[in-house]
Amino acid sequence: MEVMYQSTRNSGKTVTASQAILKGLADDGGLFVPTSIPALDTSLEDIAKMNYQETAYQVMKQFLTDFTEEELKNCINRAYDSKFDTKEIAPLVEKDGVYYLELFHGATIAFKDMALSILPHLLTTSARKNKITNQIVILTATSGDTGKAALAGFADVEGTSIIVFYPKNGVSAIQERQMVTQKGNNTSVIGITGNFDDAQSGVKAMFNNKELAKVMDNNGYQFSSANSINIGRLVPQVVYYVYSYTRLLANGAVKAGEPVNFVVPTGNFGNILAAFYAKNMGVPVGKLICASNENKVLYDFFETGVYDKNREFILTTSPSMDILISSNLERLIYKIAGEDAEATADMMAALANTGKYTITDEMKARMKDFIGGWASEEKTAEEIKRVYEKTGYVLDTHTAVASAVYHDYKMKTQDDTKTIIASTASPYKFATSVMTAIDKKYEGMDDFALIDELSKTAGTKIPNAVEEIRSAPVLHDTVCDTKDMQKMVEKILGI
């Protein structure tokens, strides 16, 4: 059965998976969602005998029904190869009575690699399928990780170019260095004098600018997105939730049908939404625990049913979660609103105009799978130290937020369900915050000196992604005001 896609703001028109991937954002500003979430057609017990690539095919073929088997397998095999430094692609590590799902073994040592390794292949295949001759311009806002992972994925990919905007003072030193040293004739990186929400709003405005689209088309260009608003980003993320559950099944840690909880450090809501999709596909999931840092707009939303971004924006040690507009939440809103596109559009308009919206009690009841939690900066640092001293295992700051939220939840509820925590970044990406959490003596040390210390402390090899930027020259040093983002794009494209 072919799965079609519709906008969260207009359910009248449907497009194929490849068309949704190409467009990124629907014409009305909505996000593409499948008309229904497909079920797995292979048993979880059978998937438990498969490797990551085979699991990816079982999951993704259900969503991307206009791709042939050969096309999809080709995309999967080109994505999940030696770029990853472990054969399992996403290993599960048991520590301190919980399973950490390590999603940081790709080229840029963050979970974004899991989807952004495959998105360029899905996109170029989609362009061929739809006979697109325009050059595809990937336009992306990043809070730190998406940018580098997208740049690495799209660098020198034929028929594409990529422009990344990031908050100049809102990412870690390593994250920034990873981006500004990026090679590739088709790559551009621009810092903005604002925060991530400003960057994301600027990118969305360009996507929705019909005049700009016309000018670009006349010059042989069209936009697409590598942000998690693109369904081609979301679908590959569903894979690792199916995979992690079936690993527990394979090693006898859970019995068939036994539920697990997932804890996900959350910013833009795409990663935890993928776990929700996995549940809807047939994975036995108990609770989806949404972990926030001090920018706890999602925690407050789950507690009250009011989404309100009118608050101070806090820069934390877990910058990929420093977000007040969680774009992917719109997909969940659409689902719990009974797939009412008009109601969803009204709430998104309220968010744009007043910075807030309120869901109904009925919608709130439909979110019973989700639990919100948050961890302060102090609690996050304490959790890094606690886990290290107890087990010798070193968490990055984002994973530590999730770990702290989980232990808090367990203490309050006494819920003994087996639990998987999404470990979304390597500690090497946030060495300063991680090492000073373990011991204050590291304060004030140089980033790369701290990386060497971290390697000794954790007893792990420094990842290539870090080694290669030690002495790499800075290739991108442009900074602009938020209001000038479109001008920068026009200048880069020469239009």
Query: CA 485, CA 341: separation in Å to the nearest integer?
Result: 30
287 is catalytic: no
Query: CA 167, CA 402: separation in Å to the nearest integer?
Result: 24
Query: CA 200, CA 177: separation in Å to the nearest integer?
Result: 21
Query: CA 249, CA 81: separation in Å to the nearest integer?
Result: 24
Give the active site residue among 23, 61, 112, 335.
112
Query: CA 28, CA 19: separation in Å to the nearest integer?
Result: 15
Cβ-contact 352, 343 below 8 angstroms: no
Query: CA 421, CA 17: separation in Å to the nearest integer?
Result: 30
Cβ-contact 291, 299 below 8 angstroms: no
Query: CA 64, CA 121: separation in Å to the nearest integer?
Result: 13
Length of the chain as a residue count:
495
Query: CA 384, CA 465: separation in Å to the nearest integer?
Result: 22
Residues with Cβ < 8 Å from 277, sequence gap 6 or more? 37, 234, 238
- C-alpha to C-alpha distances, 48 to 42, 43, 250, nearest whole angstrom: 10, 9, 5
Pairing state between β 5-7 and 10-15: antiparallel
E-strand ranges in 180-271 read 187-192, 221-224, 260-265
Amino acid identity of residue 154, one-letter, is: F
- Residues 171-200 as b or e (16 or more Cβ within 10 Å = b): bbebbbbbbbbbeeebbbbbbbebbbbbbb
Q: 110: which DSSP letter?
A: B
Quick count: other Cβ atoms within 10 Å of Cβ 354? Answer: 11
Amino acid identity of residue 448, one-letter, is: F
Cβ-contact 260, 285 below 8 angstroms: yes
Which active-site residues does the annotation give? 112
